[in-house]
């Protein structure tokens, strides 16, 4: 498989390592506007693109790949307000898009456990809260992963009607956000009653899990059209 890496920072380099380990070829890396101009011809030879760029760049990157009919896997978060428009173009033109708030296999297992915990919390009177910690370079607060965890809780637990990173309030799911050091990502969901406390936590030790998940998504996307996520890969 010939892969283009868009966004050649720490995650881009990790994706490169994971791709080479699985005997794939990196045909081009693109990290800025100048490289888009200089390396466009190389991009045309890619079977799939993997984007771990920045939130303010990703929508344009997706459209550029669609213009060339190159399937794209998007690991960048904080662009979901544009998702419906991107999805509409993808489906109308029979393009290929795979997007997820988190590509870690372990984190996606936690997504499933989180929904079950949220259902039982409502049934048995547990109060829910969340916490997430990332490195100081992460731009979005809360993380895209935390947003998915929170929205999944809201979808199955009617004790809450919204989430917030501000102070706790009635019927509001509170998310405590921290940015410190070089933390790769820690997400926790807590369910507490007068009798006990349950905590689900996923901690990423490094970026390898995210990179391997992105490569698996790219392999899955080849030959398909439409919009896909980790549920489809599972």
69 part of the active site:
no
Beta strands (DSSP E) in the chain are 2-6, 25-30, 48-51, 72-74, 96-99, 127-134, 162-164, 172-179, 186-192, 197-203, 226-228
Matching residue, tokens 């895209």: 144
Strands 197-203 and 186-192 come out as antiparallel
Which one of 94, 123, 138, 224 is the catalytic residue? 138
224 part of the active site:
no
CA distance 62 to 185: 25
CA distance 85 to 234: 26
Which one of 10, 13, 42, 134 is the catalytic residue? 134
What are the residue numbers of the active site? 134, 138
């Amino acid at each position: 498989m010939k892969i283009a890496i868009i966004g050649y920072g720490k995650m881009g380099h990790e994706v490169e390592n994971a791709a080479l380990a699985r005997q794939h070829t990196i045909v081009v890396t693109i990290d800025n506007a100048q490289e888009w101009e200089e390396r466009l011809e190389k991009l045309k030879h890619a079977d799939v693109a993997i984007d771990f760029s920045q939130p303010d760049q990703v929508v344009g990157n997706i459209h550029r790949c669609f213009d060339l009919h190159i399937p794209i896997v998007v690991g960048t978060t904080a662009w979901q307000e544009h998702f419906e428009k991107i999805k509409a173009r993808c489906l109308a033109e029979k393009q290929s898009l795979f997007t997820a708030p988190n590509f870690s296999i372990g984190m996606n297992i936690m997504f499933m456990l989180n929904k079950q915990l949220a259902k039982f919390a409502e049934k048995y009177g547990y109060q829910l809260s969340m916490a997430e910690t990332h490195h100081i370079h992460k731009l979005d607060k809360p993380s895209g992963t935390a947003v998915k965890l929170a929205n999944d809780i809201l979808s199955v637990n009617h004790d809450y009607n919204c989430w917030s990173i501000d102070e706790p309030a009635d019927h509001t799911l509170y998310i405590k956000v921290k940015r410190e050091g070089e933390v790769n990502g820690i997400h926790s969901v807590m369910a507490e009653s007068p009798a006990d406390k349950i905590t689900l936590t996923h901690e990423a030790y490094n970026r390898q899990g995210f990179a391997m998940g992105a490569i698996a998504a790219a392999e899955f996307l080849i030959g398909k059209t439409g919009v896909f996520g980790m549920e489809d890969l599972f």
